[in-house]
Amino acid sequence: LLVNVSQGSTKKMPDNLFGVSFEEINNAGAGGLWAELVSNRGFESGGLHTPSLIEPWSIIGDYSLVRIATDFSSCFNRNPVALRMEVLCDSNACPDGGVGVYNPGYWGMNIEQAKTYKLVLYIRSLDSINLTVSLTDSTGAQTLAASNIIATHVSNWTKVEIALIANATNHNSRLELKTNRKGIIWFDQVSLMPMDTYKGHGFRNDLFKMVANLKPGFIRFPGGSFAEGKSLISAYWWKDTVGPWEERPGHMNDVWAYWTDDGLGYFEFLQLSEDLDASPIWVFNSGFSQEQAVNPSNIKPLDVLDGIEFARGDPDSTWGSLRADMGHTEPFRLNHVAVGNQDCWRQDYRENYLKFYAAIKKAYPDIKVISNCDGSNTQLDHPADLYDYHLYANANTMFSMARKFDLTPRIGPKAFVSEYAVTWDDARYGNLLAALAEAGFLIGIEKNCDIVDMASNAPLFLNANTPGNKGFRPDAIVFDSYQTYGTPIYWMQHFFSMSNGATLLDSTLQTNSSNSLMASTIWFQNPIDKKKYLRVKVVNYGSNKVNLKIAFEGLDDHGLIDYSKSLKTVLSSTNVKDENSFQNPTKDYIAGHYARELASYHKLLRIPVYVKL
Ligand code: AHR
């Protein structure tokens, strides 16, 4: 590999070249990054009718002793359904500990010893109340934390807040609400949040860190299909996801078949972007769900402008003031919006798009507008700052697509590769083969960073409990209630984590195996020690061992390059179908080997070379 380090042959790489694409899919948010432990906290998951779905709430005790049903008695206008619990037994006639309801969360709540959990619930009863609230193991036998709510005047809806401190750890716990007093109690908006979320912002710490470690330059949200919905009523409408959490209606994520309370709403996505120091990229609904369409005459760009005002407006503007009320007086730095997801094929897409484009550019000329139409082969027939490009393919096709943008004309808007992934049989949950093929593709993107502005893998997260027929595999990060690991796809992305804003050097492979090898070299400044490093990345997608010699041209490598400090990182395994797991989370990742040996075989190598300047 011949690397030319001289100034003339360099390319400045975009500051946000690599980022992440977050979608509410596979319980990535509800039951994942968003730390809320109660599932269906407002009893609304069946929609705005009764009986609504109560699941996963269940009763404790016999149906002859306790009965539950939903009705429209809530004090919240936008989510009118509440739970009515009728207890038919009294004191000694009730079983020990009482009867009631429990919520197992999203496949079990993670309760950890000595940690504090904030329980908030709304209650109402015409009788006096003596309620035990507790965190228990999955059967209710072991109590991890408990408290009592004793109240006589709750005939109007009353908000109760309790801090529960756990006396033991159980990763598969549940929340119980029990009584042994006859009568009727209504419950609504029952929330249990761990107190130690990232900066208190509600993000599960371990999952936040997994994303932060990728150093994403941007975060696309709230997803692809999730933004569209199958039906329009289930699309992502940002106004339903802001304001006090108790008042948010929540909605059925009908593409991925689960309910979300929208605790992770538009505000929280913007907050997440800020916490990650990543540019927010908001995908708004362009007037299409997967099965329906808004009549173009009813397209309302104003709704989107309101969303931009919510993010960036002054704290005294209509929507900026709501943001300020939610605790963020300063504007968020929203600079990109995407008009829909995969909607270019829709008959009226262009008509809708142009309405949104004109309105946004008039009010916010600096905002970059992303079209759904592919401009990589032919010029777009409408104005856009960027065009969205998605690639789902088998491993061989993905690797061959490393050359995809070589031939794209250097005029017109740049590409935003917002979703790419090796799918299904070639990847299963995310194996080494998928990671190598994607690494080849990303090296191709680095080399074409003059016309590809941003790229992100998709999907980002998978809750391992998501039923196989519901979720989307493979994914970068897998988790359950308390643990997480990165698939090789995740670790592969670390090889590119220093590329944002770096300098691409000219590197040429001089080999007969060039069909199965891809390589790139960047200069970057380490933000911690402020020193300059070269990082050489090589992927060997072939099945033959290759002896690779790296030579630097244009630099006195004896004088300037300190090889003794070079560090080799390898993503490899004995079998390309190997995957990581909770038990073996880094099977396919060998970090931090000091070495000069550069032979590779089914490997992705990263060799940052420390340079004395
Ligand atoms: O990434 C998973 C899905 O694949 C996205 O929701 C959609 O945009 C694409 O088809």
Q: Which of 106-110, 113-117, 126-130, 357-361 has the lowest mean pLDDT?
A: 126-130
Give the pLDDT of residue 172.
98
pLDDT of residue 208 exceeding 80: yes
Confidence class of residue 611 from pLDDT cuts 50, 70 and 90?
A: very low
256 CB near ligand 1 (under 6 Å): no
Taking residues 311-324, report their average pLDDT: 98
pLDDT of residue 602 exceeding 50: no
What's the 544 CA to ligand 1 centre distance in angstroms? 34
d(CA 21, CA 222): 8
| Ligand 1 atom index nearest CA of 226 | 6
Taking residues 476-500, report their average pLDDT: 95
What's the 251 CA to ligand 1 centre distance in angstroms? 19
d(CA 387, CA 573): 36
Confidence class of residue 610 from pLDDT cuts 50, 70 and 90?
A: very low
Give the pLDDT of residue 555.
67
Taking residues 317-325, report their average pLDDT: 98
d(CA 543, CA 600): 10
Residue whose tokens read 């083969």:
433
**Strand, helix or coil for residue 421:** strand
CA 247-251-254 angle, to 5 degrees, is 175
Which CATH architecture does the domain made up of 58-194 adopt? Answer: Sandwich (2.60)
pLDDT of residue 600 exceeding 50: no
Give the pLDDT of residue 484.
97
- Sequence ranges of the domains in the chain: 58-194
Instruction: Check residue 322 and report its DSSP letter.
Output: H
pLDDT of residue 599 exceeding 60: no
419 CB near ligand 1 (under 6 Å): yes
Taking residues 373-380, report their average pLDDT: 95
Give the pLDDT of residue 598.
32
User: At 425, which helix (H) or strand (E)?
Assistant: none
Largest CA distance in the chain: 88
26 CB near ligand 1 (under 6 Å): no
Give the pLDDT of residue 585.
83
Give the pLDDT of residue 567.
79
118-171 pLDDT per residue, tens: 999 999 999 999 999 999 999 999 999 999 999 988 999 999 999 999 999 999
Q: Which of 21-30, 338-347, 500-509 has the lowest mean pLDDT?
A: 500-509
pLDDT of residue 225 exceeding 70: yes
The mean predicted confidence, pLDDT, of the chain is 91
Give the pLDDT of residue 557.
47
d(CA 194, CA 206): 13
What's the 28 CA to ligand 1 centre distance in angstroms? 13
52-64 pLDDT per residue, tens: 788 999 999 999 9
- Among residues of the chain, what percentage have pLDDT more than 90? 77
Ligand 1: which of 286, 390, 470 to mutate, judged by most atoms within 8 Å of the beta carbon? 390
Q: Which of 16-20, 91-95, 583-587 has the lowest mean pLDDT?
A: 583-587
Taking residues 192-215, report their average pLDDT: 98
227 CB near ligand 1 (under 6 Å): no
- Among residues of the chain, what percentage have pLDDT more than 70? 93
| Ligand 1 atom index nearest CA of 472 | 2
**Do 476 and 430 form a contact (C-beta atoms < 8 A)?**
yes
Give the pLDDT of residue 200.
98
Ligand 1: which of 25, 225, 416, 473 to mutate, judged by most atoms within 8 Å of the beta carbon? 225
Confidence class of residue 8 from pLDDT cuts 50, 70 and 90?
A: low
pLDDT of residue 608 exceeding 70: no
Strands, E assignment, 137-255: 143-151, 158-165, 170-179, 183-194, 218-221, 251-253
Give the pLDDT of residue 517.
92
Confidence class of residue 498 from pLDDT cuts 50, 70 and 90?
A: very high
Give the pLDDT of residue 544.
82
What's the 526 CA to ligand 1 centre distance in angstroms? 34
Give the pLDDT of residue 528.
86
d(CA 421, CA 389): 12
pLDDT of residue 467 exceeding 90: no
Confidence class of residue 300 from pLDDT cuts 50, 70 and 90?
A: confident
Ligand 1: which of 236, 341, 346 to mutate, judged by most atoms within 8 Å of the beta carbon? 341
pLDDT of residue 597 exceeding 60: no
SS (H, E, C) 448-505: CCCCEEEEEECCCEEECCCCCCCCCCCCCEEECCCCEEECHHHHHHHCCCCCCCCEEE
23 CB near ligand 1 (under 6 Å): yes
Residue whose tokens read 């496949």:
107
| Ligand 1 atom index nearest CA of 419 | 1
pTM of the model: 0.94
423 CB near ligand 1 (under 6 Å): no
Give the pLDDT of residue 605.
61
Confidence class of residue 577 from pLDDT cuts 50, 70 and 90?
A: confident
73-95 pLDDT per residue, tens: 999 999 999 999 999 999 999 99
